[in-house]
Amino acid sequence: MVDGFQIRGTTRLMGIIGDPIAQAKTPATINTIFSAGGVDIACVPIHVPVQELETVWAGLKGMPNLIGFGITLPHKQTALELCDSLDPLVKRVGAVNVVRRERDGSFRGYQFDGKGFVRGLRANSIVIETREVLLLGAGGAAVAIAFALVEAGAKSVTIANRTTEKAQVLADTVNADFGRIVAKVGPAKPTTGQLVINATSLGLNDQDALPLDPDLLRPGMTMAEVIAQPETTRLLAEAAARDVETHSGIHMIKGQVGLIADHMCDIWG
Amino acid sequence: MVDGFQIRGTTRLMGIIGDPIAQAKTPATINTIFSAGGVDIACVPIHVPVQELETVWAGLKGMPNLIGFGITLPHKQTALELCDSLDPLVKRVGAVNVVRRERDGSFRGYQFDGKGFVRGLRANSIVIETREVLLLGAGGAAVAIAFALVEAGAKSVTIANRTTEKAQVLADTVNADFGRIVAKVGPAKPTTGQLVINATSLGLNDQDALPLDPDLLRPGMTMAEVIAQPETTRLLAEAAARDVETHSGIHMIKGQVGLIADHMCDIWG
């Protein structure tokens, strides 16, 4: 933390709830942002076992100097029911990752996975506009990213998923939402110049199968990850070995933290 | 806060609850102690309106990485009923100022006003052992201090209070507890070499009447305050003007914070 950071009686609190919570990197990262901006907010880890979620939630609501909290496993889905209101993106993705105390005191759920991913790409100077995207996976992360990429100007999104039906549902939802055919289902076969994104959980463990045959990757493509740990997945290493531009999942995390800090400061900074 | 202080996922939380809470000095002071000791605990202010106390209390109980909290106005008395167990001193004084999560997860209430006052005197090299004490007041602070001073070796405690009955009850309780006559009721008239303590609230406001005629003070006596703000009360200024050793209420606060830090670290440090 930068020099001069100090918790005082006036300091507002932002939590991050999860079980376990010891692994959370958000407090250290976001406090550096708050501190650098001269904002009197401190982010603290709050360990919340599943059976305590409702009780702790009510308690957090009763603390007027608590301005909101990030949500990590295993509460991302169950938190939906506890929010007083939800940003539309939360319902689409089916997961909340931030709750903010609004001006009226209510707790509203937000979802920053997709926007965080886009911000991470931009921070790494990776072009999205007019780009064709191959999205691997159709789960929560893929849904968030599909919407955010189209919103950010991607030309098309091809969704490749083991269960084709799930990919089709996502493509249909995106197309319906944007009122044009921008998403479609396809195989895990990248074409020239594509931005390829692994939004599956394959790669979290080193023994996982690769979500894509790396021999299909060519220079001019970008291979991006949602997985942040390991920072360089086996797929990214294979891509780099083939002179393909790579983009670690760590950038998504950093992008998200920056967005969340801004979002909190919009009301409470 | 010392360099290197950082809140991480592993950081344990200590709260300080009150309404208002912005004035609380405990977070800044105790975090410096934790940080200097290399202890991964952060103290944070928690604003708790009266009508939210029970809900927030239950919430705090449901966060295993919250190791306890300090209590300030207006919760010091109402907190008694919410604790799972109470240190005997809490019942005597009728106020809790610290709650600690014990090893079994339960919340136990503690009272450090008296011991904090004694630690403050010692930090300021003021002798207690074999000393005769004139204690002004018989409220919560006076009760805590009377017990702590006798325990610390004071020779006698004379209690002067507007309502004599209240002073008598305190003297009787102290004598019963220690099994000897060490406390008695008397007038607000100090005698040679006495340690005089203002444990009333007179002096919080500059227009307050003095709790003692300062012309009765003589060199060789010590005039001590419970009031920490202003740091130099009018009574202390009058005493200093008469070459009487003075002792601000600020030392009690500092003494207390040190004790509380030790107490938390006994289990969670």
Selecting among A61, A76, A91, A166, the annotated active-site residue is: A76
Instruction: Sort strands A195-198 and B12-18 into parallel, antiparallel or unpaired.
Output: unpaired
CA nearest to B79, candidates B66, B61, B65, B62: B61
**Cβ atoms of A92 and B76 closer than 8 Å:** no
Q: What is the mean pLDDT of residues A156-163?
A: 97
Degrees to nearest 5, angle at CA A55 with A52 and A58: 145
- pLDDT-based confidence at residue B8 (cuts at 50, 70, 90): very high
Q: What is the mean pLDDT of residues B58-85?
A: 97
- H/E element holding B135? strand B132-136
Say yes or no for a CB contact (<8 Å) between A47 and B64.
yes
Domain architecture of chain A: domains with CATH: 12-111 (3.40.50.10860), 114-248 (3.40.50.720)
**pLDDT tens track for A74-129:** 999 999 999 999 999 999 899 999 999 999 999 999 999 999 999 999 999 999 99
CA nearest to B57, candidates B74, B41, B73, B79: B79
Using the 8-state DSSP alphabet, how is residue A209 labeled?
P
Which of A221-225, B91-95, B241-245 has the lowest average pLDDT? B91-95
pLDDT at B167: 97
**Cβ atoms of A158 and A167 closer than 8 Å:** no
pLDDT at B1: 39
> Edge-to-edge strands of the sheet including A98-101?
A41-47, A12-18, A66-71, A98-101, A107-110, A85-86
Q: Which residues of B touch A (CB under 8 A)?
A: 1, 3, 5-11, 13, 16, 21-28, 31, 42-49, 52, 55-66
Residue A62 has pLDDT above 50, yes or no: yes
Which of A2-16, B57-71, B105-119, B221-235 has the lowest average pLDDT? A2-16
* Minimal CA separation from B148 to chain A, in Å: 29
Residue A213 has pLDDT above 80, yes or no: yes
Degrees to nearest 5, angle at CA A42 with A37 and A45: 135
- What average pLDDT is seen over chain A? 95
pLDDT at B206: 85
Q: Which residues pair with B17 in a beta bridge?
A: B46, B71
**Cβ atoms of A264 and A41 closer than 8 Å:** yes
Say yes or no for a CB contact (<8 Å) between B27 and A10.
no
- pLDDT-based confidence at residue B2 (cuts at 50, 70, 90): very low
**Cβ atoms of B11 and A27 closer than 8 Å:** yes
* Minimal CA separation from B44 to chain A, in Å: 7
Closest-CA residue of chain A to B72 = A9
- What average pLDDT is seen over chain B? 95
* Residue A91 annotated to the active site: no
């159709």: which residue's tokens? A138
pLDDT at A3: 44
Dist CA B122 CA B113 (whole Å): 14
- pLDDT-based confidence at residue A206 (cuts at 50, 70, 90): confident
- Residues in chain A with CB shorter than 8 Å from the CB of B16 are 9
Nearest residue, CB atoms, A24 vs list B9, B43, B61 = B9
The model carries a pTM of 0.89
Say yes or no for a CB contact (<8 Å) between B13 and A45.
yes
Degrees to nearest 5, angle at CA B230 with B225 and B234: 65
pLDDT at B160: 98
Closest-CA residue of chain A to B56 = A59
Say yes or no for a CB contact (<8 Å) between A24 and B3.
no
* Minimal CA separation from A217 to chain B, in Å: 37
Residue type at B130 in one-letter notation:
T
- pLDDT-based confidence at residue A1 (cuts at 50, 70, 90): very low
Say yes or no for a CB contact (<8 Å) between A44 and B49.
no
Closest-CA residue of chain B to A4 = B1
- Residues in chain A with CB shorter than 8 Å from the CB of B57 are 59
**pLDDT tens track for B195-204:** 999 999 999 9
Say yes or no for a CB contact (<8 Å) between A63 and B47.
yes
- Residues in chain B with CB shorter than 8 Å from the CB of A10 are 22, 45
